[in-house]
Amino acid sequence: MTTRRNEVHVLFTGYSRPDSNDSSVMRANCTCTLIKTRHGRNIIVDTLTAWDGERLTQVLQSEHGLQPQDINVVVCTHGHSDHIGCNYLFREAQWHIVGACVSHRDKYLDCPLTREDSEPFQLCGDDVTVVRTPGHTLSCVSVLVRDSIQGGVAGICGDLFERVEDIIDPSIWTEAGSEDTNSQRRQRLRMAELCNYIIPGHGQGFVVTDQMRALLRQQLDSTSDRKI
Ligand SMILES: [Zn+2]
């Protein structure tokens, strides 16, 4: 029996806010996360903007003793520029997964994540899986890490959740842009029910409470009522 857990480390905590000098401009960068599995695989999720290569390389080295070539898989929860910018650093990785698209060099897998009900795509047995969570974009995915050091399942959910506050104030995620708000509401509840801990797209990780789950269920129920 193994007692080792899968490590999930936030390398950079994301943010999104209006520019202090020009309210028509947003300042945003993603939360960037490293998974070190108990079987020795290194997976990076969401790679900041293209201007962040130096500091990302630095943190991998100083905090984890890793070189870019030590990263085995790159996952971007979706294709927006602040989530994919440094993918170029990780050219030794087996896969680059950008939303539902899985590729290596010019080779593209035949859509393992195309459908919403697709089987989870396994990255390290079933310790780390990628699942479809359409909403913010229709191609969005989340990464689930079983037996995490946070306790139970950690979900790296990208912009399905902007930050923890958007559970109380849903205008935060709807105003951040959503290609399908109904689907996003469903997926938010689904992930909250699956996960003990969630890392959102632009904020700090948080423990998922039953109160949060109840609120997300309420938000889903009240909008589906209106639809009927
Ligand atoms: Zn984002």
Please answer whether residues 99 and 18 qualify as being in contact, where contact means their C-beta atoms are separated by less than 8 angstroms: no
Residue 228's pLDDT band (cuts 50, 70, 90): very low
**Ligand 1 centroid to 58 CA: how many Å?**
22
Paired with 133 in beta bridges are: none
Closest CA to 159 of 211, 84, 103, 88: 84
Q: What is the pLDDT of residues 163-200, one digit of tens each?
A: 999 999 999 999 999 999 999 999 999 999 999 999 99
Q: Looking at the predicted structure, is the pLDDT value of residue 2 above 70?
A: no
**Ligand 1 centroid to 200 CA: how many Å?**
9
Q: How many angstroms separate the CA atoms of 81 and 170, rounded?
A: 23
**Ligand 1 centroid to 170 CA: how many Å?**
16
**Ligand 1 centroid to 72 CA: how many Å?**
23
Q: What is the pLDDT of residues 101-125, one digit of tens each?
A: 999 999 998 877 877 677 889 998 9
SS3 string of the chain? Answer: CCCCCEEEEEEECCEEEECCCCCCCEEEECCEEEEECCCCCEEEECCCCCCCHHHHHHHHHHHHCCCHHHCCEEEECCCCHHHHCCHHHCCCCCEEEECCEEEECCEECCCCCCCCCCCCEEEECECEEEEECCCCCCCCEEEEECCECCCCCEEEEECCCCCHHHHCCCHHHHHCCCCCHHHHHHHHHHHHHHCCEEEECCCCCEECCHHHHHHHHHHHHHHHHHHC
Q: How many angstroms separate the CA atoms of 68 and 90, rounded?
A: 5
**Ligand 1 centroid to 223 CA: how many Å?**
24
**Ligand 1 centroid to 83 CA: how many Å?**
6
- For residue 226, the model assigns a pLDDT of 52
Average of per-residue pLDDT values in the chain = 94
159: phi then psi, degrees, rounded to nearest 5: -85, 10
Q: What domains lie within the chain, and their CATH numbers?
A: 7-227 (3.60.15.10)
Q: Looking at the predicted structure, is the pLDDT value of residue 227 above 70?
A: no
Q: What is the pLDDT of residues 23-81, one digit of tens each?
A: 889 999 999 999 999 999 999 999 999 999 999 999 999 999 999 999 999 999 999 99
- For residue 1, the model assigns a pLDDT of 52
Q: What is the pLDDT of residues 119-161, one digit of tens each?
A: 889 998 999 999 999 999 999 999 999 999 999 999 999 999 9
Q: How many angstroms separate the CA atoms of 85 and 66, rounded?
A: 19
Q: How many angstroms separate the CA atoms of 63 and 129, rounded?
A: 25
